[in-house]
A and B are shown apart, each in its own frame.
Chain A
């Protein structure tokens, strides 16, 4: 029996607003502890939350970019539990009426997107103040209240690798939207995975476990694989998977259950009475729509449509917008330009390697047949290595295409003369044998002859 993994992801994205979700404190980036706090995010008596308009705006943008339905009226809920990183003893989040429902990115359907506030940071310290053998913790509320968007997918992923690839796509999409730094190492992108296995070809879901705290793409993939292995082994041994929350230790590769918080799961959700519903107006929706950049899928489609680029080239430029932007800056016949941008990409990490003006000139030289494709590649190598002007490089290194003078005809005539046996094979019907003539001709012309022209002249001279 083959088992197939079924994976759903729960992603938390810190939004790059200026202030917190429910108060006016500026977001913190490594500031001294408790220097970005106020009575509201410290949960002081009598204080009240106020919802950040920009966070709502970003939430709407995300929903639109990901094809979700925007709720005509969504509300905030309180999620009640006790923990020192939760100043009020409850988190303001959204429960049964989230900002966005449904949606899709690539092959994965989305279940929902909602807004909530981040918890504070707990640093464990020992009695002596050193960080080990914790007797105590120090709470820093700087992070508490940072706006978060929680994205929950449907269980549409079926391998760790696929999960990693999809998360990469999500990250790129969110980055292009400009709503978050989406940096896993810094914590602005966090991902938990829900994993189960089932016999391949069936549709019922098995018991799932939740895998938390994987803070890099690599660990995400390793962790998911480890858990799939663990569940597979259990089931093959005739045992059952227990629903639990696990922590993946990337160093040891091991999975361990997180301390069960028992009653912590009774969050006693109820509508947040201190905030009023969010009912996006036409203006709010229009503003979100207007703020959307052209996203990958739409951009790829446009490249195919407007410039007849082949599908995979269009996709490449759409999903790597630095290259897409560069492609749009270089002038010339679009497909030729696409070709040479692709050539550059094979040689350099970033389009910054060669100024678009320089590539424009190179493309023009190729189109004017001033330089052959082969030699143009040499020019490109030089541009990447040393920069400079394409025309000057051609001049300096004598890479220019052979002109219309009889020089080429003369060289061809000589080569034909020197290779009578090849000529005989050609006349005998073996046209492929022409290659045996082209080689020496190219060598003699030092790549400056246009290949098409060479073939034409050979045929002409042989009377074919």
Chain B
């Protein structure tokens, strides 16, 4: 059984399709592991003894998957890490999840997350923090900490999360696995509980780039239920590249200097050396407006979230406080139902949009966003990819950054610019610092997922990262 659980999803799926493996065995094995999870990675594990039947040639081969609780799953609790949605069972399923199950990946469990995807450590979950399998005194990152930890610990072979400012890439880095944020619009947002509408994107957590490609292929596509969805213009290819000949890598000074921990920077530089050995050219460059990216992000995302979270008012679903009148019902329901970080961001966003402040805050931040997008556009004239460390540090201790919201926000400064520009970016594990995983980020132009996966694949092979310590 433990051999079974060492297979990557692609390997397992291939064996299922070849008739060598019964998907039910995968289900049993993983369900046992998920049920035994001691990281608080799951908020719900399926109680089905047998998985739903799949087609023999289903691309995902019946390999079970973990789904961040932010995705609505019909009849199954979908709580977004919040008390305000405690016990909420939607009558519909997110399109991304429907596509996964249709492609043959049954949902094994819902995973823990920072409340409404706001956070970088999963400490903002109303259902307790999730622990990092590499070191249980430390955070797995966030907001998709549960999805990342579950894969890193081997409780599920793969999972999906959401990335708004880095919430897939950063936990992937902190947990030593692969995490991909696709181009904005590649995957439908329908049924994905909204945090910041113009930034949110679904994406895979996997052990390697091949598995990531499989999940991307299954989920991507234009959805009539999501007007902003575009799908991908070309089919997703399984990556095969083993070198980086002719690939031009740009290293932005703004994301690779001050603020990055030494151990992370060392691993980063070692990977750049490897890239050169594989045939890539590596040059420093600039993303001049990246330093303002975090500020713009922390105006745009809270502004959109303050509006997206207005529907949690106790009227139609979710928590409702006892109250004698309507106004109190609203204010008390939301006071009781939302955690501190959510309240902070709702307040910040409300302020940024409020009368007299719109132009100076939200309006201005949207202009900064244009400037950042242009910075990347100029980069693509000289480079195929922009690379950086994914996160400024390794997994920090639980409670280390909760006292100062700003300190927590700074975790995102390498990942936020790509989110603002809507471009795809992947994080692959590229080493350890003080025994903890470090991530390497590769970002490319919109719709360059195939090329990113190829480059990541080549590097991944050369790096040869061993994630088994997480699964121990």
> Direct A–B touching in the complex (beta carbon < 8 Å)?
yes
Q: Decide yes or no whether A418 CB sits under 8 A from chain B.
A: no
Judge whether A266 and B92 touch: CB under 8 Å: no
Binds B, one of A5-13, A87-95, A296-304, A341-349: A87-95
Which stretch from B53-61, B239-247, B285-293, B308-316 is at the chain A interface?
Answer: B308-316
A48 to B228, CA, bound (A): 10
Residues in chain B near residue A49, CB distance under 8 A:
227
Main secondary structure on chain A at its contact with chain B? loop
A90-B310, A266-B355 known; A44 vs B316 contact (CB < 8 Å): yes
**Chain A residues with CB below 8 A from B197, complex form:** 273-274
A307 within 8 A of B: no
Q: Does B307 contact A (CB under 8 A)?
A: yes
Q: A44-B90, A46-B94 are in contact. Are A87 and B191 (CB under 8 A)?
A: no
Within 8 A of A (CB), among B301-321: 303-304, 306-307, 309-311, 313, 315-317
In A66-119, the 8 Å CB interface with B consists of 78, 80, 82, 84, 87-90
Interface contact A270-B78, CB-CB below 8 Å: no
A44 neighbours in B (Cβ, 8 Å) = 72, 90-92, 311, 316-317
Cβ-neighbour of B198 out of A45, A46, A80, A273 (below 8 A):
A273
> Chain A: which residue is nearest B70 at the CB level?
A46
For window 46-83 of B, CB contacts with A under 8 Å fall at: 70-72, 78, 80
A42 within 8 A of B: yes
Q: Is A366 interfacial (CB 8 A cutoff)?
A: no
Whether A46 lies near B330 (C-beta < 8 A) is no
A269 vs B80: C-alpha distance in the bound complex, in angstroms? Answer: 26
CB distance from B290 to the nearest CB of A (A): 22
Give B229 Cβ to nearest chain A Cβ, in Å: 9
The answer to whether B362 and A270 touch across the interface, beta carbons within 8 angstroms, is: yes
Interface size of B by CB at 8 A reads 43
Q: Is A357 an interface residue (CB 8 A)?
A: no
Given A45, A84, A139, A268, which contacts B350 in the complex, CB threshold below 8 Å?
A268
**Given A39-B90, A39-B91, A80-B353: A47 and B310 within 8 A (CB)?**
no
Question: Number of A residues contacting the other chain (C-beta, 8 Å)?
Answer: 28
Q: Is the CB of B303 within 8 A of A46?
A: no
Kindly state whether residue A462 has any CB partner on chain B within 8 Å.
no
With known contacts A80-B353, A88-B311, A268-B350, A47–B190 Cβ distance under 8 A: yes
A206 within 8 A of B: no
In the complex, chain A residues whose CB is within 8 Å of the CB of B225:
48, 50
Q: Which of A44, A48, A274, A276: most chain B Cβ within 10 A?
A: A48
User: Chain B: residues with CB nearer than 8 A to chain A?
Assistant: 70-72, 78, 80, 85, 88, 90-92, 94, 189-194, 197-198, 224-228, 303-304, 306-307, 309-311, 313, 315-317, 326, 330, 350, 353-355, 358, 362
A: residues with CB less than 8 A from B are: 39, 42-51, 78, 80, 82, 84, 87-90, 139, 266, 268-270, 273-276
Sample (6) of A-B pairs whose CB atoms are under 8 Å apart? A46-B90, A47-B92, A89-B307, A273-B197, A273-B228, A274-B197
New A-B pairs, 5, CB < 8 Å, besides A44-B72, A44-B92, A82-B310: A46-B71, A49-B227, A88-B311, A89-B307, A268-B353
